[in-house]
Amino acid sequence: MRGSFFLGADHSPKFEVRDMEFAPLGEHDVLVRNKACGVCGTDVHIYHGEKGSAEVTPPVVLGHEFAGIVEKVGSKVTCVKAGDHVAMDPNMYCGKCRPCRMGKKQNCENLFALGVNVNGGFAEYSLCPDTQVYVMDKSLDFKVAAMAEPLACAIHGIDRADIKPGQIVLVIGGGTIGLLMVQLAKLKGASTVILSEPIEMRRKIGLEVGADAAIDPINSDLLAEIKQITGVDGADVVIECVGKPFAVEQAIKSAGACGNILLFSVPGVNDTVPLPLFDVYKKELTIAGSMINPDTHQRAVNLLNGKRLEIEKLITHTFDIDHLEDAIKTQMGSESIKVVVEA
């Protein structure tokens, strides 16, 4: 049993493949033979020494978007059995702090996560609490099943965006999340979904998975293009999936009257933008953030099991655990959409 341990952002090398040993299973433990684990923007942040969703204390096996086969279960596990194909919800909550008791567990003061501050999916095996394990249809490719976690996060964002049937939706950024948002917006009944993305390959795939139009914001006037496509000034809902200040400014400018703006991506800790207060006032804008996946993981599993989304087109590169650093560097590049590590 091997795992790729993150040794720290200042360490050289940053990863080391080591043998892993697991204690005897507790009553509610599930031992999973990992098959696929996605590389997330959070992994990139951690790689650079920035904050993840929870505190990272090396050495630790990263990887929180993972799927595999149940190898063994503890004596009181009833939700899964050996041989089941499963995907994991990595996020766990204390249930005791004020946010948890107020029904806002995504803001849990003691949030901890598989693959962030305890060992996760960039390994041949993982030990998971039974509460975090969800059964996947055996017909699904494991790389697709591993997308349950990012999809669950996107679903929470879509809930926050509050799309109404017949609305015009602009998605800024055609990475993994942006292309999931395109598809979810269509499922919510958006009449027109426009993707803003400078990379041609991503625009092409955006159109293939459901975008009605794809705009290059570098070489086009985004607002003029929206007006030409829709006949109106600005979108009803704008979903920002880049995580950079310029994209946030673009989102605010692109929102139409009474528009909803969802800032989904994880920005730098100290990033700020100037807020055009008169625009917020006059257009009566609503600006929302989105944090992880509270109570949406089962919905993501249902969508994947029901084959309601195009996922395989988003997976552009695969690596093994011996080349995890290469996988993370590829995820940072413009030639990739989703990078997956196979155990």
Beta carbons of 236 and 256 less than 8 angstroms apart: yes
Contact in structure between 238 and 247 (CB atoms under 8 Å): no
Instruction: Work out the average pLDDT over 198-203.
Output: 98
Residue 111 one-letter amino acid? L
pLDDT in tens, 134-171: 999 999 999 999 999 999 999 999 999 999 999 999 99
User: What pLDDT is stored for residue 244 in this prediction?
Assistant: 95
pLDDT on residue 314: 98
Cis peptide before 267 (omega within 30 of 0): no
Residue 55: predicted pLDDT: 80
Superfamily of domain 152-289: NAD(P)-binding Rossmann-like Domain (3.40.50.720)
Mean pLDDT score across all residues of the chain: 97
The percentage of residues in the chain with a pLDDT greater than 70, rounded to a whole number, is 99
What is 2-147+311-342's CATH number?
3.90.180.10
- Model pLDDT for residues 293-333, shown as the tens digit of each residue: 999 999 999 999 999 999 999 999 999 999 999 999 999 99
Alpha-carbon distance 171 to 235, whole Å? 10
Does pLDDT of 66 surpass 90?
yes
Per residue in 248-302, pLDDT (tens digit) is 999 999 999 999 999 999 888 899 999 999 999 999 999 999 999 999 999 999 9
- For residue 54, pLDDT over 80 is answered with no
Evaluate whether 311 touches 304 at the Cβ level (below 8 Å): yes
The domain spans of the chain are 2-147+311-342, 152-289
Q: What is the largest CA-CA distance in the chain?
A: 63
Q: Element (H or E) spanning 66, and its range?
A: strand 65-73
The pLDDT of 34-52, averaged and rounded, is 91
pLDDT in tens, 79-94: 999 999 999 999 999 9
**256, containing H or E segment:** strand 255-263
Confidence of residue 103 (pLDDT cuts 50, 70, 90): very high
101-119 b/e (C-beta count within 10 Å ≥ 16 → b): eeeebbebeebbbbbbbbb
Between 3 and 117, the higher pLDDT residue:
3
Model confidence at 53, in pLDDT bands (50, 70, 90)? Answer: low
What percentage of the chain exceeds 90 in pLDDT? 97
pLDDT band at 52 (very low <50, low <70, confident <90, very high): low
